[in-house]
Structure formats: C-alpha cells, structure tokens
Structure 1
C-alpha cells in the first residue's frame, strides 16, 4: 500500500493559521464564561448581603417617638351603668339642677298633649324619689332656662302649655328650703330654651329660639341677683353670641362661661291650628362651642 502524500506547503500554511484562530476563539469563550460566572457569583453574594442587612434593619426595633398625652392611649377608668329608681312620671324636655344630695327635676312633656307643672325631688343619699311640689300655673312647662346659686333655683322664660304653644317672658325663683316661689323681673322678649347660667353674681340668658319657634336668637342679657332677688330694675344687654339657637349646654368652668352645641330651626305651630299642633320644619344641629371670659 502506497504511503500518503505529504501536504504541500501551499496548503499547510492556511490550515495552521485556521487552527490557531479556532484555538484562540475557544480560549476567549472559556475566559468570558468564567468571568461572567464570577461576576454573577459576586452579584448574588452582594444581593444576599443586602437582603440580610435589610432584614436585620427591619428586625431592629425603631426608636420610640414621643406622643403627646392628649393623643396617647391612656388607661381609662372602667364605667358601668347602673339602673336607678324610675322617675315618678315620664318626662321629655325636663330641666334639672343638683343642690347638695338632692336633684330637682322641673316640668317637661309627658306627651305632646300633656305637660307637667310640678318638680320631682330625688335623694342621692337614700336613692329614692323623696318629694314633689307644684310650680306656679303661670310658669313655663318646657323650653326653660334654669340655674341655681346653691339654694335658689331660677326658672326663666320658655313655653307655657303643650304642643307648640307660644313662649312667655316671665321668670320665677323657688327657695328650695321653704319651697316658696316668687316672680323675677321678666325678660325683654320671650325665648325658647335659652342657654342660662349664674356667673359672677349675674344671671346670664343667651340665645334661644325666637317667638316663631324657628328663628334663632342671638341676644344676650344679664341681671344681677342675690338670694333669689334682682338687684337691678332691668336686664342689661350684653355682647350677643355669634351663633344663636335653643337647646344648648351651658357651663361655668375655670371662671369662664361656655356655651356648647345648639340648634337652628325647630318644630313650629301649624298655621291656624287651635291647639298649636306641632309640625316639623327644617332643623340644623351644630357642634359650635363659644367661650366668654370677662378678663378678671
């Protein structure tokens, strides 16, 4: 068998060059793959470290921020309602004041066609209703303004009679020791349910509903009183309240006079009704609070 012919020099040179190029490409590919893998490994390691760092940061308790006690969830006393002896009569829109251990509850509706004309007395000491006495027939039965000096109770203006009858401007005082009534200087005009308080020796009557029962009054009057008697011959006109109306809370605290909430509009008497039958009108109930400070 004849021996293979050696490649000619003309073919050997190109083949050698091609082989060298192929080896170079393979080596370059292997180096690139190794470098990418290394970068991926390093990147994964860095990401893992970042994630671990984030987890550690999240686990670390955040510093406590200062919270004003006004908004803090402070522990509060636990209160429970306890049922007390029922009142002698059903009563809506009644008015009450406390003197010592006695609670005096005035007037009010039993229903729209029947109003009360007496005062019921409750004793906190004996936990019983201990007495009852009549009011003057000329005195309002609902929508009163009421205040006390610790012995005398002042019952001012309000509605006389059932349904939606007219208001009166007559005012009365009762001595809770003797149970004797006498009449006080009348208001300049009648009002329904004005805010009323005794403040610095003066009886203050603020706002209330006007004679049509619907329009809010802004007027504010005061009268100096002592031991159930007026010390002046007329009511003094004071600064009006910015927003008027009836059915408001009124309290003296920290030597300032506060008037809280209220209503604009109310039930009105049906036009032409001989019994002044109540019919509903538009009402607005609001939460405005006003404070009066005489600067003393």
Structure 2
C-alpha cells in the first residue's frame, strides 16, 4: 500500500481541528446557557457602562421605560441576553454638583429632615453590626456640621418614619438595633428649639420604614414592612397632633393604601397626599440566629404613584420613569413640581447586586407628567450612604 502524501496528511489534520473546534463551540454554548454560568464569577462584578473594562455592554435607551424593548447585552462578546431598561441610566445631560462638607460619620438607612437652613440627620447603620444613636446637624449657610446630641435609648436606629411641622420632628416606629433586629412601636417628638425629646402614643403595631406625613392636622403612618421585616403592610393609621403633642388617646384606622411596603416617598402638596415608589419585601433575620443576622429575600421595587384626595379614595397617577425605592428622604417640592433624586431600583438580574438610580426625576403637578430634571441648579446634600438626598435653595426649572 502506498504511503499517504504530505498533502493528504495536511488535509486530515485540518479536518480533525475543525471537528474539535466544533465540539468546543457546542460545549461553550451549552456552558453559557446553563444557570451555573449566569452566577459564575466570570460576570460577578457589575461594572458601569462607561467603564471600558466592563464585560457587560449596555446600549442607549429612551427616557420612557414603558416604550422601550428589553435591551440585548453581550456577556462574553458572543452570547446575547435580554436586560430590562431599568438597569441602565436614562439619557440626560449631567447635572453640576457642588461638593459639601463631609458628614461626621457614614450612615445607611437613617433619616433626614430639613428645617430652614439646618439639616437634622438621625441614627442609621454605621456598619451592619453597629448603629448610630445620635443626631448630627448640618448648617447650609456655613457648610458646617455640629451640634450633635443623643437620641432616646428606646428610639429606633433605622427604617424610621419621620416628618416635621417646621419646629417639631415626629419620629415614628422603625428598627431597634443592628443587623435585622425587630421593630419598635415607640414614637417620639423632638422640639428642635429646645432639643428636648418627648414620648408620643405608640403605634397599634410596629413597622419598618412606613410612609409618614402630616396632613390636615393629623399624623399619617402608612404601609412599611410588618414585624418579620419582609411582609408588606397595608395598614394606614392617623392621629390628631399639634405642637408636638397628640390630641387623641388612640390611633384612628384610615383607608388602606393600594400597595404595601417600605422605603417610599410620601408627599403632601396642594392639599393632596401622595405615596410614590417603594418596594415589597426586604432582608429578614436568619432563623435561629442569635444576632438576627440578615439574610436576603426577594424584593420587588415598583414605580407606582397614588394620591389620596377629598373623597378619601386612593387614585393612581402616572408612574415614575423607572422603579425607585429608598426615597423617603430624597424628595422636595419646587415650583409646583416634586423632585426625587437617586434611590435604588431592581437588583441586577445577572449579578443580583443592588442597582443605584442615577437620575433626578421631576413630577410636574400642573401636567401630571414625569420628566428628567435637566437643569435643577440646586444644592444637594447626600446622607444615608447613596440614597437619601435633600434639595435646598433650588432655582427655576427649565
């Protein structure tokens, strides 16, 4: 038998290489399609679309999410996956930000209230195992922090409901302690002129981060999470108050809110009560943990807006441009518009990490239309980590 020529050997080698490459591509496709791939360390780090080292490419999108189709992202340069427009920034010019004096301590899930040129910042996590139990004060005029004073020992340290009448700050319920400890039904009032605390009638049941507002002479407390920290609450209570004191001996049950849960904005404007955004579900204490260690549970962030009017019925208003939570202290009213800055949206579907909202939204009360705030020209102070914002001394919108 004649021996194969060099040309035949080369041909067989090419065929073998092609076959092996084909098997490799098939194996790679099956691996990329598997659930293990979606949670592998290869894509475990979420990187900004503006970072050239990002392994996730997010195309531009239109401002109104309801009109957009799911985005296609390339995870490894080859395989496409659908990704909701929720997880990318909406196109808008960047606002100019002025850096203010650093806060005395870092804090997360605390609370903030502005009275004239003073910003009162309460409690919050320092770390997951440590919570603050004091108030810091920021002076807008001098761009300085000072005047720290303690909170009552029985007062909650995070997930507070809070509102002011211009002198008295009403502090409602919340979580007492670090990690995912239980809530307290205790309520307090701070007289900002004397910096003295007094008790307020406890809630019928404790809550985490309920929507809280003063409306028509009554302190309204709505929703939040129930005692297990995860189940959304629908209850709505109110009590008549004046000059930091309750005028009634018990809370009155009001009409339930349309959707429960914590971390929403609650606004009174034009004699109407609005609840905006928020979420259902939250971290829970791990069963049997002696330190109430937090364990992750599923959360649903929503964009819904509801208004309570003269008929004492909740009416839906146009939704936000994207789902937004942790915005209870991130809003202000400017020129008959509600302005909301930052917050958090749904967790990233691939990395499962928290996604921060980078936009400043404006809800025009004359037209009932949401827009991106393109020229707020305001001074904003950040506290509570990345999500609580307070707007001060704003100018005319354009």
TM-score of the two chains, using structure 2 as the length reference: 0.54
**Does the alignment pair 1:156 with 2:172?**
yes
Corresponding residue number in structure 2 for 1:256: 272
Corresponding residue number in structure 1 for 2:134: 118
Which of 181, 194, 218 is 2:197 aligned to? 181
**Does the alignment pair 1:289 with 2:298?**
no
Matched pairs, number: 221
Corresponding residue number in structure 1 for 2:342: none
Q: What root-mean-square deviation, in Å, do the aligned CA atoms of Structure 1 and Structure 2 show?
A: 1.5
**Does the alignment pair 1:204 with 2:224?**
no
Corresponding residue number in structure 2 for 1:87: 103
- Structure 2: how far apart are the matches of 1:80 and 1:240? 41
What does residue range 1-296 of structure 1 map to in structure 2 within 5 Å? 79-294=95-310
Change (3 A) 1:77 1:200: farther
1:287 is paired with a residue of what secondary structure?
coil
Higher-Rg member (1/2): 1
Q: Which runs of 4+ in 1 moved over 3 A?
A: 76-79
Corresponding residue number in structure 2 for 1:45: none
Unaligned runs of 5+ in 2: 1-91, 313-398
* CA drift at 1:288: 0.8
- Structure 2: how far apart are the matches of 1:284 and 1:273? 25
What CA deviation, in whole Å up to 9, does each residue of 1:210-230 have, x standing for no partner? 001111000000010000000
- Structure 2: how far apart are the matches of 1:156 and 1:116? 17
Change (3 A) 1:82 1:292: same
- Structure 2: how far apart are the matches of 1:79 and 1:276? 41
* CA drift at 1:79: 4.0
* CA drift at 1:232: 0.3
Answer 1 or 2: higher relative contact order, Cα 8 Å, separation at least 6: 2
* CA drift at 1:274: 0.4
User: Of Structure 1 and Structure 2, which has the larger fraction of its residues in helix?
Assistant: 1
- Structure 2: how far apart are the matches of 1:125 and 1:279? 42
- Structure 2: how far apart are the matches of 1:255 and 1:78? 33
- Structure 1: how far apart are the matches of 2:94 and 2:176? 42
Corresponding residue number in structure 2 for 1:14: none
* CA drift at 1:295: 5.0
* CA drift at 1:281: 0.6
What CA deviation, in whole Å up to 9, does each residue of 1:194-241 have, x standing for no partner? 000011110000000000111100000001000000000000000000
1:203 is paired with a residue of what secondary structure?
strand
TM-score of the two chains, using structure 1 as the length reference: 0.73
Unaligned runs of 5+ in 1: 1-75
